[in-house]
Amino acid sequence: MQNYPHNYAVTAVANRDGNVDLTSEGLTGIRSAPPAEFGGPGDLWSPETLLIAAVADCFILTFRAIAGASKFDWISLQCEAEGTLDRIDNVTRFTEIKLLAILDVPQATDEQKAMRLLEKSEHACLITNSLKSSSHLDATVRIAKG
């Protein structure tokens, strides 16, 4: 890992109407548009869905790093993230993010350790820590059957 601070650059380009093209050096570009809730087509990634995707992605990558450092063996992790956008004090912002995590682990895994690592990952996620909204983790550990 590199020393801090880290810098990330994205370029967004759009015309008066239509989609927004997002690019970052060395990455495949993506196209975004407003979500249906804001009058957009609802068939492209939006800033709102990208933000919630970043939370879910960061949670999994954080878990991977913490599990690796803890020498914890696991099979797969699924994370569903749901963000609530609301208007509070005349400001529209995400007020809550819920994470539903399902961790599949091998037989004879310490389930309590698995839950501790999931909870630690929620608290260590840099994307979640950068947001004002509260977050809530609902996690399940599934032991593989023989």
Query: Do the domain assignments include residue 100?
Result: yes
**Number of domains comprising the chain:** 1
Domain span at residue 66 reads 47-143
Element (H, E) at 143: strand 134-143
Q: How far is CA 65 from each of CA 30, 77, 108, 140, rounded to the nearest angstrom? A: 27, 13, 21, 19
Query: Do the domain assignments include residue 25?
Result: no
Query: Do the domain assignments include residue 133?
Result: yes
Query: Do the domain assignments include residue 112?
Result: yes
Longest distance between any two alpha carbons in the chain, whole Å: 58
pLDDT digits (tens, 9 = 90+) for 103-124: 999 999 999 999 999 999 999 9
Look up residue 115 and give its two tokens: 């839950």
Domain of 53, CATH number, reads 3.30.300.20
Can you give the pTM of this predicted structure? 0.91
Query: Do the domain assignments include residue 59?
Result: yes
Q: pLDDT class for 98, splitting at 50, 70, 90?
A: very high
Closest CA to 100 of 140, 55, 62: 140
